[in-house]
Amino acid sequence: MPKDKPLDYQSEPSRDDLQLIVRKDMPFNAEPELPNLVQHYLTPTKYFFCRSHGPLPQLNDDHTISIKGIGLASEFVVSVKQLKSDFKEKTIEMAMQCAGNRRDGLHKVKFTKGVIWGPGAIGNASYTGCLLKDVLASIGIDKKLENISSLHLAFQSVEQCEEDRCYGSSIPLSKALDECGDVLLAYKMNGEPLTRDHGAPIRVVVPGYIGARSVKFLKSMTIQDFESESYFQRKDYKVLPNEVETEQQAADYWHKVASIGEYNVQSYVCDPPDGMVKNYGGPIKVRGYALSGGGRGIQRVEVSGDDGITWTLAHFRQQPKCDTHTTNVWAWSLWEADIHVKRNTRIVCRALDSANNIQHEHPMWNYRGVMNNSWRTFDSEKRENSNL
């Protein structure tokens, strides 16, 4: 879709209180230093990555959201004020992870298109709002709707983006209505009103799914029998086949490849941040994060200081509060391990989730650089310096 008008970044918020490495200024994209990221179980907002695709709008609680589409006789409009006063409040703890987290690892293999994120395009927060299923139920949309398995709920945002007229995305309607799906229309993050960087005054949060589906500055929702037609659903956030290396080649593939919903199993060594201690061999404490998508919990994390020959079981510093056997797990686990490192050798970790998905050694390169969950890789320069 063409742009309406040139993007104007004059009214961006002050970001003086954020402690982030800026990957792109306009639109604003930034991630934390790795040791800061794993200091707290709930990531303080100052260390929470920001992923935007356009200038941020300025809205207040009078802002309204419209809901229309299949199953609805007319369009419904609800204000943020009403969402706060008329619906039960719910808080969930969940990890928000960009599908492009760790794109840098794939970019070392071959050019990838996108912001070159390190392993910090992730955070774990508490989000407070109302359950989307309650809002839908209040206008007569529930699991009794016919053909529910073929329906989607598409979200549209307020702000114009670089790639499209607004930010947009969709999820299966069944996810939105799932009793245990916990999809929220959120107005708070970590107990505070959402900041503009994170979607004030209202955003969707879709636990277990890639961050791209958690649409900020929500303006409208549509129940429809096709996926969102947004650029961000159709021409982005897809794992293209390995042979696709250019924009031109990608054009033939977008419609053939599934959009990403749930993210995959993931873990990373964040401390020491370089994943190696130069010119040192011996005992060391390492720390990192681990999580998996779709409500799958983490069974175990293993760490190796000898490039994957031997592995040590990590212990969890903090895990999700819920019973990880009976319910969906949306939050990450923070872990720690005492290992022995070989001199100038990368420290790698691998997590095993509740469905026994495990991280593999070699990266699965794809043109958009998404869903990288391989063991840590080093670029050739570092390898030479370190005799890896």
Ligand X SMILES: Nc1nc2c(c(=O)[nH]1)N[C@H]1C(S)=C(S)[C@@H](COP(=O)(O)O)O[C@H]1N2
3-state DSSP call for residue 338? strand
CB of 73 to ligand X, least distance (A): 28
Q: Is 219 in the site for ligand X (CB under 6 A)?
A: no
Residue 334 as a binder of ligand X (CB under 6 A): the answer is no
CB 211 → ligand X: shortest distance, Å? 3
Contact 290, 348 (CB under 8 A): no
DSSP for 245-256 reads -SHHHHHTTGGG
| Closest distance to Mo ion from the beta carbon of 376 (Å) | 21
Report in angstroms the alpha-carbon separations of 122 from 146, 187, 242, 331. 37, 19, 25, 11
Is 185 a binder of Mo ion (CB under 5 A)? no
Minimum CB distance to ligand X, residue 266 (Å): 14
State the maximum Cα–Cα separation within the chain, in Å, rounded to a whole number.
69
Q: What is the Cα–Cα distance from 323 to 329, expressed in whole angstroms?
A: 8
Q: Taking CB under 5 A as the rule, does residue 205 contact Mo ion?
A: no
> Considering CB distances under 5 to 8 angstroms, the limit depending on partner class, which of Mo ion, ligand X, none binds residue 157?
ligand X
From the list ligand X, Mo ion, none, pick the one residue 217 interacts with, judged by a Cβ distance below 5 to 8 Å according to partner type. Answer: ligand X
**Dihedral, 175, 44, 203, 266 alpha carbons, nearest 10:** -30
State which of residues 78, 212, 270, 303 lies at the interface with ligand X (CB under 6 A). Answer: 212
Instruction: Identify the CA nearest to 230 among candidates 172, 163, 148.
Output: 163
Q: Smallest distance from the beta carbon of 65 to ligand X, in angstroms? A: 13
49 binds ligand X (CB under 6 A): yes
Q: Quick one: what does residue 334 bind among ligand X, Mo ion, none, with the CB cut-off 5 to 8 Å set by partner type? A: none
Does 215 engage in binding with ligand X (CB under 6 A)? yes
Which of Mo ion, ligand X, none sits in contact with 50, Cβ below 5 to 8 A by type?
Answer: ligand X
Does 51 contact ligand X by CB under 6 A?
yes
Residue range at the interface with ligand X (CB under 6 A); choices 44-52, 126-134, 329-337, 365-373: 44-52
Q: Which is nearer to ligand X, 214 or 373 (CB)?
A: 214
Q: Counting contacts by CB under 6 A, is residue 52 touching ligand X?
A: yes
Is residue 248 within 8 Å of 180, Cβ to Cβ? no
> 287: which DSSP letter?
E
Q: Does residue 215 belong to the site contacting Mo ion (CB under 5 A)?
A: no
If one asks whether residue 350 binds ligand X (CB under 6 A), the answer comes out as no
Beta bridge partners of 96: 123
**Dihedral sign from CA coordinates of 246, 248, 254, 259:** positive
CA distance 85 to 135: 12
Under a CB-based contact definition with an 8 Å cutoff, are residues 162 and 7 in contact? yes
Secondary structure tally for the chain: helices H, strands E: 8, 20
**Range 147-186, binding ligand X (CB under 6 A):** 157, 159, 167
* 235 touching ligand X, by CB under 6 A: no
Residue of 47, 209, 217, 268 interacting with ligand X (CB under 6 A) = 217
CB count in 10 Å sphere of residue 255: 9
Scanning 43-51, 103-111, 131-139, 335-343 for contacts with ligand X by CB under 6 A, the matching segment is 43-51
Choosing from 53, 133, 196, 376, the residue that interacts with ligand X (CB under 6 A) is: 53
Q: Are the C-beta atoms of residues 252 and 180 closer than 8 Å to each other?
A: no
Of residues 50 and 341, the one with the C-beta less far from ligand X: 50
**Using CA of residue 81, residue 233, residue 26, residue 378, what is the dihedral sign?**
positive
Among 186, 212, 270, 314, binds Mo ion (CB under 5 A): 212
269 binds, among Mo ion, ligand X, none (CB under 5 to 8 A by kind): none
Say if residue 35 is preceded by a cis peptide, omega within 30 of 0: no
Enumerate residues 78-97 that contact ligand X by CB under 6 A: 96
195 contacts ligand X (rule: CB under 6 A) = no
Q: Does 298 bind ligand X (CB under 6 A)?
A: no
Spatial separation of the C-alpha atoms in residues 378 and 384, rounded to whole Å:
10
Q: Is 215 helix (H, G, I), strand (E, B) or coil?
A: coil
Phi and psi torsions of 41, nearest 5° = -65, -45
22, 29 in Cβ contact below 8 A? yes
Binding of Mo ion by 57 (CB under 5 A): no
Enumerate binding residues for Mo ion (CB under 5 A): 51, 98, 211-212
Enumerate binding residues for ligand X (CB under 6 A): 48-53, 96, 98, 157, 159, 167, 198, 211-212, 214-217
